[in-house]
Chains A and B, each alone.
Chain A
């Protein structure tokens, strides 16, 4: 039996990883973009939520709490960073905001969220000394944490591949053949035809579009844009936890949180887009100003000019129901949509993968999963110079001098790490950047960009002018100055 997963974001990749562990399934992942995890998965707050704010009784509430429980083991197996930093929803000394904290606590308990308690100003001050004096109360959630979402997608697909799954990137689905209410195969832009006994549509903001290729109607997506600002590591000492304001109708609010590599992320805005524009990840002057103002009101002085290194925006697929839509279609019986994966989609993703592979697929295909006898469950540790003690680095350089060639000096990334990333599937500047953090630092590739382009050109056997930032149209250089 062949199961095709469309979409190489965190959900699709985690589903592939589980499918690849089955003996009686051959699994294929198809991703439209040139790399994995480059859609919704890339541009979100990277938070593993505690699960207290999703309304009790929703699918997302249940999957969030379950996903949080699965996260530590998952990241361990995938060799992806995960830190339980804890989160704080902070409130001023006014009855409405305090009541909101109590409601969140109550809701969280019903959801089964762990590590929740309300704390007062002394403890709050102790945890976050740089927090604005305006905030006197907080809901602390010790089970919340931060991770690198795109690395989960990349690593999960890698495990899938090691266990025999196929991963196709840069080739969108353009058509299919359906017979008797069942998908028989899918057709890619390149003309490749892949037979399918079951299709999983895990395409982030694109789930309506992809479903419609198969004649399947899904709840209309309502895009929500979030703008972010990333701060230098120098800002990292200012905060320890994920800091939320008290939530509003618009969502969880604009927050201040640490990133796994010791930087700080500010945002997001939460702007509902009027039309379906899935490529619109443009920032706006107002949005970026709002992010800075909100951050400064939580942690005064955190967004100082020389600490800002990047701004960006991401889209989230919401619906009028404001809940996940994870269902097999009634008419096209072997087509499952994993849609409307809004917040807390990252946290819920491991639970979503279980739901799809352990429950939905067996139900609709009437088959019982048989595990492979021997599979890879853990990715081998890749050696990141940045995380190693000096003595260990010295030993490694003696074996392989490329460990000692530091290409990205902001984030201490060696040429060996970059070559490994390319051998593992990175084909572009962004592919290298998201895998290794080279070019992610304060110079944003001003110093190392050309060198990374050169390494890509050499390792992939392509001309320097053929190196792309990310997608096909994102060319960087326009041929030679002179022959």
Chain B
């Protein structure tokens, strides 16, 4: 068994992890990047549509192109990538990471760790949808993998549950590849994905979007035969008499992403609303020297944000590992009003602050207020699916140094 040492160890080779590895290496750290699949890129590899990179690279890219640009930078730097690897256990007291891969089992001891494990899809089983348990029910990402990378179609006629971005993208993809998409069903009264995706993936193809509807039963012995859809009231309870049946052999689920944090919750704090790891604006968790970035912190709407956060995480992980980190301060960030998902959860006033937030519900207009910093930013037509981003220069953070919290509030 090998024992290896490195400055920075990054767990996860998606957009966040790759960006972290590149930025850590840029700061002079030796980096090991662990990736579970045979190639880095994460979910970007199967997102063959465009719309990525407008912020991070200032150009519109497909998922694989975005991934390739980061990968290209990785190869250029002092980063050792271990593909096909699996982290069995992390001992946070010594930053020892127990790694299993086809090339062997090794214990990697790192100066700092960046956890960039992303999110997983909420599986069918977790939804407690009554009925049979037939084949033909796919999380949208798995269906996307089958169609775009494994060259196989999941069925003939599909219904899509959930109007998150992956669901919308898959509605278009399956239609383009010759499947019929009967409808996209969303239990909320508004779509879960980006507006541009509703337009480009559903409206352009005449696919109905049934808001305030959900799947109430699946039927089929062997393969899926039909799906019962019902209108729901404000508490999401089915309204009786408002059911209809769709004869479909495929049900695609886009029912939300869950940050992959379960392996770390014994040691690392999580945020109850984000359901991800709690981090500061340097992407550090509650454990010194352990950083997190991307969808395991909160589910971001754009890969650009994930890469940007990964970049920050990697930089600070390198500072930490190389003994260049300053003594940091951490002021808790609290929510008020209509603020749902909110990143970060702590602020170090010595560093720039990037705030990402999601509204709890759509708002025609409103403003984001941070009283302690005398910031007020107005917006119109805010929806939960699109994050609101605010950047605060560190020069302005001096005044909060002695405060015990920073309040981020959204008012109408």
Q: Which of A208-248 contact B (CB under 8 A)?
A: 229-230, 232-234
Q: Is the CB of B121 within 8 A of A446?
A: yes
Given known A-B contacts A390-B88, A446-B139, A234 and B265 have beta carbons under 8 A apart: yes
Give complex CA distance A468, B136 in Å.
10
Q: Is the CB of A405 within 8 A of B102?
A: yes
Q: Report if B331 contacts A (CB, 8 A).
A: no
Q: Is the CB of A474 within 8 A of B135?
A: yes
Q: Is the CB of A478 within 8 A of B156?
A: yes
Q: Is the CB of A406 within 8 A of B86?
A: yes
Given known A-B contacts A288-B128, A412-B86, A481-B151, A404 and B103 have beta carbons under 8 A apart: yes
- Total contacts A-B at CB 8 Å: 151
Q: Is the CB of B88 within 8 A of A412?
A: yes
Chain B residue nearest to A465 in the complex (CB): B152
Collect the chain A residues with CB atoms within 8 Å of residue B2's CB. Answer: 394
Give complex CA distance A323, B130 in Å.
31
Give complex CA distance A279, B222 in Å.
10
Q: Which of A374-407 contact B (CB under 8 A)?
A: 385, 390-391, 393-395, 397-398, 401-402, 404-406
Give complex CA distance A285, B141 in Å.
27
9-residue interface stretch from B142-150, B299-307, B358-366:
B142-150
Collect the chain A residues with CB atoms within 8 Å of residue B126's CB. Answer: 305-306, 308-310, 444
Q: Report if B177 contacts A (CB, 8 A).
A: yes
Chain B residue nearest to A305 in the complex (CB): B126
Q: Is the CB of A393 within 8 A of B156?
A: no
Nearest CB in chain B: distance from A262 CB, A: 12
Nearest CB in chain B: distance from A482 CB, A: 7
Q: Is the CB of B130 within 8 A of A283?
A: yes
Q: Which of A427-483 contact B (CB under 8 A)?
A: 442-447, 449-450, 454, 464-465, 468-482
Collect the chain B residues with CB atoms within 8 Å of residue A355's CB. Answer: none
Number of residues from A at the complex interface, CB < 8 A: 61
Question: What is B's interface to A at a CB cutoff of 8 Å?
Answer: 1-2, 36, 84, 86, 88, 98, 100-107, 120-121, 123-126, 128, 130-136, 139, 141-142, 145-147, 150-156, 177, 216-217, 219, 221-223, 258, 262, 265, 275
Collect the chain B residues with CB atoms within 8 Å of residue A394's CB. Answer: 1-2, 104-106
Top-6 shortest CB links A-B: A473-B222, A310-B125, A444-B123, A394-B105, A406-B86, A394-B1
Collect the chain B residues with CB atoms within 8 Å of residue A445's CB. Answer: 123, 142
| Known contacts A279-B221, A446-B141, A476-B154, then 16 further A-B pairs from the complex at CB < 8 Å, ordered by chain A residue | A234-B262, A234-B265, A282-B132, A283-B130, A283-B131, A310-B125, A390-B88, A390-B107, A394-B1, A397-B103, A404-B104, A406-B86, A443-B120, A447-B142, A469-B135, A477-B146
Q: Report if A420 contacts B (CB, 8 A).
A: no
Collect the chain A residues with CB atoms within 8 Å of residue B221's CB. Answer: 279, 473
Nearest CB in chain B: distance from A403 CB, A: 8
Give complex CA distance A285, B107 in Å.
47
Q: Is the CB of A393 within 8 A of B130?
A: no
Chain B residue nearest to A479 in the complex (CB): B153
Give complex CA distance A471, B223 in Å.
9
Most chain B CB within a 10 A radius of its CB, from A464, A476, A478:
A478
Nearest CB in chain A: distance from B111 CB, A: 22
Nearest CB in chain B: distance from A230 CB, A: 7
Given known A-B contacts A449-B142, A474-B222, A479-B152, A444 and B132 have beta carbons under 8 A apart: no
Q: Which of A327-383 contact B (CB under 8 A)?
A: none
The listed residue (B100, B125, B153, B217) touching A444 by CB distance below 8 A is B125
The listed residue (A233, A443, A478) touching B152 by CB distance below 8 A is A478
Given known A-B contacts A394-B105, A444-B123, A478-B155, A288 and B130 have beta carbons under 8 A apart: yes
